């Protein structure tokens, strides 16, 4: 592909002499291309991401057409962004929004009114805030020091008792602290596997009684996962729990639903109080921030993306900060504002970091799993949070601004008011309305279990492999060798280490080991 660029002094729309030989028409002014950085925002709903992709509706595709129709790009360069040095400061995935996105290039910004011409050729989902002159060598991608993303996660997602999965509901039957089929999802007509039953809403006791490092949500021995892994009926187990479900008649089930969904007077008020009991208080904030802090620093994030191996140098990324200190209420839903700042991010990286952090907050996994996921010799399937809550907040050009102090500062300071208005009108309302209508986060939480993500208990499996190998080696060596204790210990260690290495080095063996000994790990931990 040719990378030739047109001259800066090229006339944008030169006048042509009159055909009849008379005096030529009035000559139009000559405009020069100038290197600029354009600041804009967009709501990612309906788009297949930022980067242009043939056959897909993308933000860049719409921007290129708007630049052409606004007169910023001549006809001969239409559809060829390399000819005008196009560069983006960050890429966003499908459905992800942005408030402080930046592109750079050589454009015709004259005559005055360039921003208005651009916005008139774009949908309301995309808003151009302004542009600033830059040096001729400026590149929005290469000169961007760091990027800040924000993920809005509903507060209820951090509550271990909210939107339980079917395994947890089944295992809770007969425990005196029964869980119920998700009331929120049932009210919206969404079919979620579960049962109706009584439930203790003392979430405080529930949180205190469940250790964040336990990694076990329920008695796995009685869960569907137990039957699936042991080759039984893959649907659901025939257990005491199932018998209890069968004993619930349709009438009783309807009565339960009436009590919860159609409660009147004091009962309805009580239900409303119970639903909102969990809050993002100091204890929850401290725990969540402690979990997010594990991501800070330079780590190998090969388990937090796709199609990148651990040996690939690009898997190493530097996270400057990751915190969730504030909440925001949008359309009646309280969200926790998770802000992450890093040099650069890979595909799905932030959503997977959030997904694992939420799993830990809900006691689905131990905190140590984050450190385990950073290891090169470990392959883990990390849950990925929905895309709807993520948006690019700002791109920073600190080094450029310090080096070129005589040029305009490249930042969002001049557009802070417009950006905030766009964020509240388009992005925040979209996130909240989507949760109201579709319950995206709630449905995702229902899938957060060991059946879909067996690696959430990876650390426990690994410990079991070591212990089983050690026990087997001790028994064998003790019988054959007798009193040679030193040799037995050495052989035991060697066998155990070898099994552990094979366990963590091969992703396909992980599935086999999980099926064979995963139940032992869960049963011992529980």
For residues 163 and 445, the answer to whether their CB atoms sit within 8 Å is: yes
Catalytic residue list contains 259:
no
- Asked whether 108 and 71 are in contact (CB, 8 A), the reply is yes
C-alpha radius of gyration, the chain, whole number? 29
DSSP string, 478-523: HHHHSS-HHHHHHHHHHHHHHHHHHHHH-HHHHHHHHHHHHHHHHH
Residue 311 main-chain phi, psi, to 5 deg: -80, -15
Q: How many CA atoms lie within 13 A of 260 on its CB side?
A: 21
Q: Which residues lie closer than 8 Å to 75 by C-beta, 6 or more apart?
A: 68
Query: Cα separations (Å) of 179 from 166, 196, 361?
Result: 10, 8, 18
Confirm if 431 and 330 have CB atoms less than 8 A apart. yes
318 marked ligand binding residue: no
Sign of the alpha-carbon torsion through 50, 55, 56, 61: positive
Nearest to 105 by CA among 147, 136, 74, 60: 136
Residues 6+ apart with CB under 8 A from 298: 316, 317, 318, 319
* Phi/psi-derived region of residue 14, left when phi > 0, alpha when psi is between -120 and 50, beta in every other case: beta
Among 93, 165, 393, 455, the active-site one is: 93
Instruction: Give the residue numbers of the binding site.
Output: 149
Instruction: Give the residue numbers of the binding site for substrate.
Output: 149
Residues with catalytic function: 93
């Amino acid at each position: 592909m040719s990378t030739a660029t047109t001259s800066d002094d090229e006339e944008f729309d030169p006048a042509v002499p009159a055909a009849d030989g008379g005096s030529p028409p009035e000559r139009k002014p000559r405009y020069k291309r100038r290197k600029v950085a354009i600041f804009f925002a967009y709501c990612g709903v309906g788009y297949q991401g930022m980067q242009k992709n043939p056959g897909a509706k993308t933000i860049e595709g719409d921007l290129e057409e708007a630049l052409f129709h606004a007169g910023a790009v001549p006809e001969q360069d239409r559809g060829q962004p390399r000819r005008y040095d196009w560069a983006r400061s960050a890429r966003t995935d499908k459905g992800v929004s942005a408030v402080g996105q930046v592109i750079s290039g050589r454009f015709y910004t004259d005559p005055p009114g360039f921003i208005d011409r651009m916005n008139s050729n774009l949908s309301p989902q995309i808003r151009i805030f302004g542009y600033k002159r830059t040096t001729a060598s400026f590149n929005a991608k290469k000169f961007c020091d760091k990027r800040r993303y924000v993920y809005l996660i509903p507060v209820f997602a951090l509550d271990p008792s909210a939107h339980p999965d079917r395994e947890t509901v089944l295992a809770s039957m007969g425990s005196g602290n029964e869980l119920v089929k998700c009331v929120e999802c049932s009210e919206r007509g969404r079919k979620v596997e579960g049962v109706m039953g009584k439930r203790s809403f003392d979430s405080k006791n529930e949180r205190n009684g469940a250790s964040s490092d336990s990694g076990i949500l329920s008695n796995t021995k009685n869960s569907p996962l137990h039957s699936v892994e042991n080759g039984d009926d893959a649907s659901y187990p025939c257990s005491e729990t199932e018998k209890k479900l069968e004993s619930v008649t349709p009438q009783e089930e309807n009565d339960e639903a009436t009590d919860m969904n159609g409660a009147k007077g004091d009962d309805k008020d009580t239900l409303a109080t119970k639903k909102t009991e969990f809050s993002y208080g100091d204890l929850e904030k401290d725990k969540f921030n402690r979990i997010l802090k594990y991501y800070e620093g330079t780590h190998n994030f090969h388990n937090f993306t796709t199609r990148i191996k651990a040996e690939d140098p690009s898997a190493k990324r530097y996270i400057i900060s990751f915190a969730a200190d504030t909440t925001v209420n949008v359309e009646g839903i309280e969200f926790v504002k998770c802000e992450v700042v890093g040099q650069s991010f890979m595909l799905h990286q932030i959503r997977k970091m959030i997904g694992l952090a939420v799993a830990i907050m809900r006691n689905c996994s131990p905190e140590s799993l984050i450190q385990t996921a950073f290891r090169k010799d470990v392959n883990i399937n990390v849950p990925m949070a929905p895309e709807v809550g993520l948006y690019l907040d700002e791109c920073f050009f600190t080094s450029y601004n310090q080096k070129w102090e005589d040029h305009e500062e490249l930042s969002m300071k001049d557009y802070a008011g417009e950006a905030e208005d766009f964020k509240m009108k388009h992005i925040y309302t979209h996130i909240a309305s989507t949760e109201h209508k579709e319950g995206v986060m709630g449905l995702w939480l229902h899938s957060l279990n060991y059946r879909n993500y067996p690696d959430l208990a990876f650390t426990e499996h690994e410990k079991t492999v070591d212990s089983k190998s050690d026990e087997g080696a001790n028994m064998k060596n003790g019988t054959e060798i007798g009193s040679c204790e030193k040799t037995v210990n050495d052989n035991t260690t060697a066998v155990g280490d070898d099994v552990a290495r094979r366990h963590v080095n091969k992703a396909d063996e992980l599935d086999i080991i999980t099926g064979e000994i995963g139940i032992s790990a869960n049963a011992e931990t529980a």
